[in-house]
Amino acid sequence: MRIEKDTLGSVKLPDKAYYGAQTKRAQDNFPISGLRLPRRFIRAQGIIKLAAARTNGSLGLINKKILKAIEKAAAEVIEGLHDSQFVVDVYQAGAGTSQNMNANEVIANRAIELLGAKRGCYKIIHPNDHVNMAQSTNDTIPTAICISAFESVKEFLLPALNGLYKELSKKSKEFKKVVKSGRTHLQDAVPMTLGQEFSGFAESVKNDMRRIQNASESLLNLPIGGNAVGTGINAHPKFRKRIVKEIAKLTGIKFRSAANTFEGIQNVYPALELSASLRGVSVTLTKIANDIRLLSSGPRTGFAEITLPAVQPGSSIMPGKINPVMAEMLNMVCFQVLGCDTTIACAVQASQLELNVMKPVIAHNLLFSIDILSNAVNAFNEKCFKGITANKARCREYAETSTALATALNPIIGYASAAEIAKEAYKTGKTVKQVVIEKGILTKTEAQRILDPYKLTGS
């Protein structure tokens, strides 16, 4: 064990710990969930600390020896070499002070070690005075949210959704001649093709991708440099502009300084905007998953218009049962994202005066949503969607026996008369085509032409 001192007194720490007194206090104070902010967020913290050190070094505020040590330590954090040292629970001190100090202490102690001294020798490199120079929890944590969320969306979520969109588009072409009965209110409707139905799925995912892309653009505005409340206190006048350029250089992303750092620290609206778009895609994916479950229901007593790949046994008691497990999984993930969005909305609106102190829970829920959505969409696409096949005979049967075919008779005999034909067809168990031929309303040739389900799809 070693002993460190902070402004409240002495704290015992494991010798091997890179974190320091403030982190240990937080670890002891918040034994809440066992959850930690994810690798992507820690990486973003490392990027910020590296960018800050280089910026302060370029301004002559840190000597080269200290700068190089902090650079090396921060780079190791970025690479994930010290993730085990980030030990603060998600449910922690407001604004993320503990999380920021966790990063400051880990980087400071590792830098001290690189200079040949023992951890805790803060006269050499201090967590606050050197690693946190010209920064505050209040501007670094929202900046880390922006960096980590933007990278996650760009690298994971949008590629996953694009893969699903491509597969949906492919299926819409594959099924373009598979005629079936449409359904509205879960009742028989006019004919359509399975391809047309799937094209609707594809377009909805495409639209959600656009919304997510647009929402993520707000994450490019970083409040870093605003420091405690937005004034930039204790920061060099050139710090704000230079650190944003350095972050952009390190990430390869065109981040820019927030137009108003006061607003950027008071609120976390970029996270709210992105979360709303995640809510939107979750609603879309829930609808698609539910439709896939309906269309594949059966195999003998349901719609059975499509067949899903069998990926695992569906029952512990009913032999041979196969369930739409991938669609069910996607449903559960989407419901979780809706819950995360509610948490984020509540946390964002909880901002008071110069600061929103709920940022850790916002970061957790936002990044968690992106991760599980990305993984769920990839799994659903690979294990389910790519293997979907059409039951063409069943689809055709439904299309030809649907009483909604009477809709095509409206221009010929009028709505009221067509309704009587539909009712008679249903009552007698005959098709609309059989009824109009028997009644002499249409000849067999006319009936085959006018009531051809595929022609009625407009394909």
Residue 169 annotated in active site: no
Spatial distance between the Cα atoms of 302 and 40, rounded to a whole number of angstroms: 44
Question: CATH number of the domain at 2-133, please?
Answer: 1.10.275.10
pTM above 0.85, yes or no: yes
Question: CATH number of the domain at 402-457, please?
Answer: 1.10.40.30
Spatial distance between the Cα atoms of 452 and 450, rounded to a whole number of angstroms: 6
pLDDT digits (tens, 9 = 90+) for 148-165: 999 999 999 999 999 999
List 315, 369, 402, 459, catalytic entry = 315
List CB contacts of 249: < 8 A, sequence separation 6 or more: none
Residue 299 pLDDT exceeds 90? yes
Spatial distance between the Cα atoms of 450 and 442, rounded to a whole number of angstroms: 9
- Cβ-contact 396, 188 below 8 angstroms: no
Alpha-helical regions (H) of 175-232 = 194-216
Mean pLDDT of the region 382-399: 98
Categorize the per-residue pLDDT at 323 as very low, low, confident or very high, splitting at 50, 70 and 90.
very high
pLDDT digits (tens, 9 = 90+) for 65-83: 999 999 999 999 999 999 9
Q: Residue type for 418, please?
A: A
Residue 53 pLDDT exceeds 90? yes
Name the average pLDDT for the chain: 97
Closest CA to 7 of 19, 26, 17, 21: 21
Give CA angle at 161 (157, 164), nearest 5°: 145
Angle 64-79/97-114 helices, nearest 10 degrees?
Answer: 120
Block residue for tokens 């492919």: 170
List CB contacts of 209: < 8 A, sequence separation 6 or more: 158, 161, 162, 165, 281
Residue 459 pLDDT exceeds 90? no
Upstream peptide bond of 191 is cis (omega within 30 degrees of 0): no
Residue 396 pLDDT exceeds 90? yes
* Residue 10, pLDDT score: 96
**Beta-bridge mates of residue 390:** 306
Tally Cβ neighbours within 10 Å of residue 104. 27
* Residue 146, pLDDT score: 98
Residue 134 pLDDT exceeds 90? yes
Closest CA to 7 of 112, 133, 126, 93: 126
Here the tokens at position 448 are 């085959």
Here the tokens at position 152 are 């996650």
CATH architecture of the domain with range 145-222+263-392: Up-down Bundle (1.20)
What ranges do the domains of the chain cover?
2-133, 145-222+263-392, 402-457
* Helix (H) or strand (E) segment spanning residue 271: helix 269-295
Burial group, residue 237, by CB count within 10 angstroms (0-12, 13-18, 19+): exposed
Categorize the per-residue pLDDT at 48 as very low, low, confident or very high, splitting at 50, 70 and 90.
very high
User: SS3 of 189, please?
Assistant: strand
Mean pLDDT of the region 82-94: 97
